[in-house]
Amino acid sequence: MKANFYSLGAAEEVTGSRHVIEIDGESYLIDCGTFQGSRAEADRKNREFSIEADRIEGTILTHGHLDHCGLLPLLAKKGYRGNIYATPASRDIASLIMMDSARIQARDAEYLRKQAKKNGEKFDWTPLYTEQDAIAASGQTVGISYNRPMRIGDGITLEFHDAGHILGSAMADITIKRGGQELRILATGDLGRKNKPIIRDPVVPETAPDYIVLESTYGNRLHGKTEDAVEKLAVIAKRAVENRGKIIIPSFAIERTQELVYYFHLLVDDGVIPEIPIYVDSPMATNATTIFQVHPECYDEETNNAFIKHHKNPFGFNSLRFTTSVEESKSLNDLKGPLIIISADGMCEAGRVQHHLIHGIENPNNTILIVGYMAENTLGRRIRNRESEVKIHGMWLKLKAQVEVINAFSAHADYAEAAEWLNALDTSRLKGILMVHGEKKSQAAFRKYLEEQGYGNVEIVKYGKTYELTR
């Protein structure tokens, strides 16, 4: 039996995940994510949607991050009327993310139109899709829980396994049965890590795959241990109590924010730190936290033991506040420490976190805690680099606050963790590893590492190139 595989995104790069399995002329799409990066390039790539929507038989969504779900509304807009399979939690997170993306695009269009008018320039940029398209994509999404094999086409079965990456994240285990033969493809989506809070560890599926579509984001990196990170979090919190300082944490709204809330809650519950007011200052994070609350089927045993058994909500406790209005957000500037503000965006390039930084960055009693990736040329990166002065909203401000960095909260497996997962799999049938979702340097290092581990059949997937999968 033969099938074809090709990638229309996340080939030798990390965003815009879009992979296609083609069998007897039927196409199945795995993820349909947005390209992120410099504005003009990302916009061009997102508009080059080189697959005909009416040729897709079914779509599988591995998780709700924008670079995996962000172009599903465009797919719907282009006429795709088929099912989008996702876990129930991914469906909810993706709905939130797609809607947010539609709103941001509408806002951008409005802003750019005004700017162009002011400058007497021609303006013809339109959003990729609207809120209605995002709603349509949500409406086409069919929830399939973990470990519930479902027939999604003629002789084609899909089963989701825990990927341990974010709430609802799944590996797609696809079995194609045709003409008395069986071809098994396991797509990792984004492969998570063991011991992440809230969610379960990545599962090692029992089915022996013929091919693995493997992500490679951290193919050349090792992360620190989560335990050490929590200890550091406690030290920083205690120092804020002593100095009556503020801890400002730039964070994206989904997963990292809920993890931080969870850890602080645990540290308070265990008596390691005193109760400190925590303000989650991002409407998106507030909505995302609601989604976390309604999906206990995704929680791991520790979360169940620490909270659910005692009828406690891991994402809401006495000293936690969700600010929604702009006035409430501004009023945080007048409060005295100790307090913790978790606010978006994660790279400090926009959003409410910038106001908190303007008011807090020049005070040496305050701490700016970096918990996520800071891309080059962002305010977050300049703070991370501890530059002595930074510009926010056109003002030069002295960076006097302490800057702390915790790397261990990563949601992606590092190369050793990914190899450990791979080594635990039944690879008796394995014919090839198709490497996707990684930058060139990281992929080259990862392939070399896997070769040393005895995997001689690793392909670094090239954009648009077709790979034949046989059994």
Site string for Zn ion, 60-99 (x = CB under 5 A): -----x----------------------------------
The rounded distance, in Å, linking the Cα atoms of 100 and 335 is: 30
Q: How far is the CB of 262 from Zn ion (least distance, A)?
A: 19
Q: Which is nearer to Zn ion, 57 or 190 (CB)?
A: 190
Cβ 168 to Zn ion, closest distance in Å? 11
CB of 88 to Zn ion, least distance (A): 18
Contacts of 46 (CB under 8 A, 6+ apart): 16, 34, 35, 71, 74, 128
Backbone angles phi, psi at 400, to 5 degrees: -110, -20
Cα separation of 431 and 420, whole Å? 19
Q: Which amino acid is at 457?
A: N
| Residue matched to tokens 């990862």 | 446
How many residues at the interface with Zn ion, by CB under 5 A? Answer: 2
By beta-carbon proximity to Zn ion, the closer residue of 210 and 255 is 255
Q: Which token pair is 338?
A: 């100790």
Q: Min. distance of Cβ 165 from Zn ion in angstroms?
A: 5
The enclosing H or E element of 4 equals strand 2-9
- Closest by CA to 185, choosing from 214, 147, 216, 162, is 214
Question: Using CB under 5 A as the criterion, what x/- string covers residues 19-58 for binding Zn ion?
Answer: ----------------------------------------
Nearest to Zn ion of 65, 352 (CB atom): 65
Stretch that binds Zn ion, among 114-122, 189-197, 229-237, 295-303 (CB under 5 A): 189-197
Is 159 or 190 the residue whose CB approaches Zn ion more closely?
190
Which listed range, 71-79, 175-183, 185-193, 283-291, lies at the site for Zn ion (CB under 5 A)? 185-193
How far is the C-alpha of 456 from the C-alpha of 384, rounded, in Å? Answer: 39
For 199, counting Cβ atoms within 10 Å of its Cβ (0-12 exposed, 13-18 middle, 19+ buried), the class is: buried
Closest CB to Zn ion among residues 203, 248:
203
Choose which of 190, 259, 281, 417 interacts with Zn ion (CB under 5 A).
190
Strands (E) located in 61-169:
84-86, 141-143, 150-153, 156-162
385 near 419, Cβ under 8 Å? no
Of 81-89, 153-161, 182-190, 384-392, which part binds Zn ion (CB under 5 A)?
A: 182-190
How far apart (Å, rounded) are the C-alpha atoms in residues 94 and 98? 6
Minimum separation from the CB atom of position 123 to Zn ion (A)? 33
Which residues, including other chains, have CB under 8 Å from residue 413's CB and lie 6 or more apart? 191, 192, 193, 202, 218, 421
Residue whose C-alpha is closest to residue 237's, from 79, 402, 377: 402
**Least distance to Zn ion, CB of residue 457, Å:** 25
Residue 61 or residue 237: which is nearer to Zn ion going by CB? 61
The span of 46-54, 59-67, 72-80, 274-282 binding Zn ion (CB under 5 A) equals 59-67
> Closest approach of Cβ 166 to Zn ion, in Å?
6
Residues that bind Zn ion (CB under 5 A): 65, 190
